[in-house]
Amino acid sequence: MEVRKYQMTLAFRGTAYHGFQVQQNARTVCQTFQDAVEAAFGVRYPVKGCSRTDAGVHANRFVLTMDCPQALPCGAMVRALNNRLPGDIAVLDCALAPPDFHPRYSCLGKRYIYQIWNSQVKNPFLEDLAFQVRSVIDTGLANRAAGMFLGRRDFSALCAAGGGVEDRVRTVCDCRVDRRGDLITLSVTGDGFLYNMVRILAGTVLEAAFGRLAPEEIAGVLDSRDRGRAGPTLPPHGLFLDRVFYDAGALAAECPHWQKEVVRHGADHPV
């Protein structure tokens, strides 16, 4: 029997979930998605995701695949699943994928964003979607600090204990800070990320923004490979997986430093 590989994109609010990956005795996005699949089609088809994601982390565009022997119209599948998924998970689109496509290993890069609500007054509409910082953030200093992370290097200083990978070399091809009113967004794009890397990077940028670490000192922090010299790990609820890249052209257009790093280091494979 021919098995079809369906590629789907999800958006989810991670507040109520312990990440994407199925876990015992914990509610996860994958488990909830498969519950909806089983309710809609009577079978719990296998699912693979592009990332595990931590508890409380959100996604704007999370890619997964589902292997299914049924020939199901994609539009009907999207409608059926969305009718059975809770309000904090949505299927955005669906398409047939090549047999050799893997949402994680076919990935060339990812973009994460970290949201900070920079105000003395809390925002009830962003309570679980942005980390509140009451002191005024100097976005000029923050952007100078963000630029220090560009390039291909060992990011051990930004890896939390328990990461479990030996190769900690990654390429960061875009890293910037934007402010719109009281909402500050850190955006970082790279070929792969270590355990808690973006949240530690964001914490290090804040250290620089508050004058506790000069942006020029960040190179030394990274060279030290010492987690203790980097900033704190910010809470998960400000973090979003924003986009997953499978096309080199799209990644190059998004990330002006990418092609240079690919040519120099051969960073054209998933991490």
Residues 80-129 have pLDDT tens digits of 999 999 999 999 999 999 999 999 999 999 999 999 999 999 999 999 99
For domain 4-96, give the CATH number: 3.30.70.580
DSSP-derived pairing of the beta strands 183-190 and 169-180: antiparallel
Question: How confident is residue 145, by pLDDT bands cut at 50, 70 and 90?
Answer: very high
**71 compared with 33, residue with greater pLDDT:** 33
Residue 92's pLDDT is 97
Partners of 10 in the β-ladder: 62, 91
Residue 271's pLDDT is 25
Residue 263's pLDDT is 37
- Domain limits of the chain? 4-96, 109-265
**126 compared with 4, residue with greater pLDDT:** 126
Residue 76's pLDDT is 93
Q: Cα(243)–Cα(250) distance, rounded to whole angstroms?
A: 11
Give mean pLDDT, residues 9-18. 97
3-state DSSP assignment of residue 267: coil
**CATH class of residue range 109-265:** alpha beta
Residues 236-262 have pLDDT tens digits of 999 999 999 998 888 888 776 655 544
- Give the H/E segment covering residue 263: helix 258-265
Alpha carbon distances (Å) from 182 to 129, 176, 187, 206: 14, 16, 16, 15
Residue 268's pLDDT is 32
Tell me whether domains 4-96 and 109-265 share a fold. yes
256 close to 191: Cβ distance less than 8 angstroms: no
Question: How confident is residue 1, by pLDDT bands cut at 50, 70 and 90?
Answer: low
Residues 178-235 have pLDDT tens digits of 999 999 999 999 999 999 999 999 999 999 999 999 999 999 999 999 999 999 999 9
| Predicted TM-score of the model (pTM) | 0.91
By annotation, the residues acting in catalysis are 54
Please provide the average confidence, as pLDDT, over all residues in the chain: 91
